Structure 1
Amino acid sequence: MQRSSERSIITLLSDFGSLYPAQMKGAILSRARDAVLVDIAHDVPPQDVRAGAFALMAAARHFPAGTVHLAVVDPGVGTGRLGIVVESGGHTFVGPDNGLLIPAARSLGVPEAWMIDQVFFEGASPTFHGRDVFAPAAAALASGAAPSSFGPRISPKELQMGSAEISEDWMEAEVVYVDGFGNVIINATEIPWDVVILAGRRLMRARTYAEAGPDEPLITIGSHGFAEIAVRGGSAEGLFGLAPGDRILLERGNCSE
């Protein structure tokens, strides 16, 4: 339980770019002036719920219990999709019920979810629930409101990152995120071979980026625990032309290659 002398932490994640997050922050600070606001990311690829879920999952675990996580990647804004509050591992999440919150919540514990009652949507812009519904909800949670006070308990929509399919000589995986360096993160948590080939190019298996030579492609297990394709001093996204959602085939190479 948060002590009264501590300032509440609210994280923010969205696909809104540079303009709209300030409006969400204003809505929060109008209701919880002392809240500490921390941006996770606002450059999630537009409407890419899975990429947003990955970014939230990678970041949320590094915040203390009691943190409120406000996340909005919401292609269904203004439709019949629900808004939800999720509690897990001492953290609280608020946002749309489209799976965005669930991987992060599951990484911290066993999630419990409540629907945000429609009364909270009255007067809200049908195109900006992040500002008019979820930001006020986050402020209320940071100020001590119970998740159950927003509405009835529900089973939230699930979202899975999936897992790579691995055989003796190949691995089929999916790109789940591309970071600001152009590093390509895939839904694999292991690198099964010493030599890996992607699109005819050898990927150096490395522990750090610096182990590769200049402009050399590599594969490593990133700080998030997933396999990551990178280029030292360059962009794996640009080199291989990859984007979130792409399926890729990694092949086992020979040590002599």
Structure 2
Amino acid sequence: MPLVTLTSDIGSQDYLVGAIKGRLLRIDPAFQIIDISHSLSPFNYPQAAYVCRSAIRNFPEFTFHVVLINLFESKPEQLLLAFHNNQYVICADNGLLSMILEDKPEMVIGIPLEKAAIKNTLYCIDIAARAITQLANGEPVERIGIPDAEYNEKNPLRPLLGESWIEGQIIFIDNFENVVVNITQEQFEQQRKGRRFKIVFKRDEVIERISGSYADVPQGEKLVLFNSAGYMEIAINKGNAAGLFGLRGFNENTESHAMMHNRLFYQTVKVFFE
């Protein structure tokens, strides 16, 4: 019984998520389907990479993760099926795979799409479902697609590093308006080297210690902790940090507009070490 996760930017307003699950079950009623999220922002690759990467690592080995993000950035010619750290990822050939994995996958198969087919979301899910069934049944990869296929890559959004500082970007704002920054605890400690630090954002907001939980500070006070995914998080105990501080994350919808006006299209958080 293959375990299959679904992540998308489709939302839940219409029929499509239900139809996707129906198509999966029509191809193999034994699929166990788990939703990760269908509320990701359209075209927001850093956000999608963070959510997928943080969820995938918690699943049993050999789970199939179907990522339906920006399927049609360009006219699709193939889907990608990657295997890495004992997990399978199926996604569009749009650069997101390298951002999720932050590494070269151990295996990549290019699954060709029929040239004459109407390449909509349900067609793509049919192709993905058949590939999952073939793999689960032990068919060789050569019968599923093209091994070691060439594919598009995008660089992960990594923090900038200096001798006495590290600068991260806001990549996600959760339902409580806690703000996630692309600095992991491991990166923070490696750069810190036991030194004191100041975390600075919005010019004059400063935090000088890492909390273990939201309750470490009085209600209404700001704090920084490392969340369950291991990423830096700015929060307010029983408050909404993003709204109160006017923080926002990367949004590719505003990228071209911001660049035209010579402005950053995401906000940064900087840590100074002393």
Aligned pair in 2 of structure 1 residues 161, 220: CA closer, same or farther (>3 Å)? farther
Counting aligned pairs with the same residue, the percent is 23
Q: Secondary structure at the match of 1:30?
A: helix
CA distance in 1, matches of 2:60, 2:32: 13
Q: Residue type matched to 2:18 in 1?
A: A
Partner of 2:270: 250
CA distance in 1, matches of 2:100, 2:74: 24
Partner of 1:201: 205
* Paired residue total: 246
Partner of 2:232: 227
Residue 40 (structure 1) shift: 0.8
Q: In structure 1, which of residues 150, 172, 176 is the aligned counterpart of residue 171 of structure 2?
A: 176
CA distance in 2, matches of 1:243, 1:59: 20
Do the aligned partners of 1:85 and 1:113 also contact (CA within 8 Å) in 2? yes
The two structures have a TM-score, normalised by structure 1, of 0.82
Q: Residue type matched to 1:248 in 2?
A: T
Do the aligned partners of 1:85 and 1:147 also contact (CA within 8 Å) in 2? no
Decide which structure has greater helix share. Answer: 2
Q: Secondary structure at the match of 2:52?
A: helix
- Unmatched segments (≥5 aa) in structure 1: 1-6
Do the aligned partners of 2:6 and 2:66 also contact (CA within 8 Å) in 1? yes
CA distance in 2, matches of 1:144, 1:94: 17
CA distance in 2, matches of 1:238, 1:129: 40
Aligned pair in 2 of structure 1 residues 129, 173: CA closer, same or farther (>3 Å)? farther
The two structures have a TM-score, normalised by structure 2, of 0.77
Mapping for residues 47-196 of structure 1, pairs under 5 Å: 47-74=43-70, 76=72, 79-80=75-76, 82-105=78-101, 110-119=105-114, 122-126=116-120, 128-153=122-147, 154-167=149-162, 170-189=165-184, 190=188, 192=192, 193-196=196-199
- Unmatched segments (≥5 aa) in structure 2: 252-265
CA distance in 2, matches of 1:112, 1:219: 37
Residue 118 (structure 1) shift: 2.4
Residue 249 (structure 1) shift: 4.0
CA distance in 2, matches of 1:31, 1:93: 19
Do the aligned partners of 2:73 and 2:94 also contact (CA within 8 Å) in 1? no
CA distance in 2, matches of 1:14, 1:206: 32
Residue 77 (structure 1) shift: 5.2
1:45 maps onto 2:41 in alignment:
yes
Q: In structure 2, which of residues 6, 31, 52 is the aligned counterpart of residue 12 of structure 1?
A: 6
Residue 126 (structure 1) shift: 3.5
CA distance in 2, matches of 1:104, 1:142: 23
Partner of 1:31: 27
CA distance in 1, matches of 2:112, 2:247: 43
Residue 67 (structure 1) shift: 0.7
Q: Name the Cα RMSD after superposition.
A: 2.8
CA distance in 1, matches of 2:39, 2:90: 19
Residue 123 (structure 1) shift: 3.5
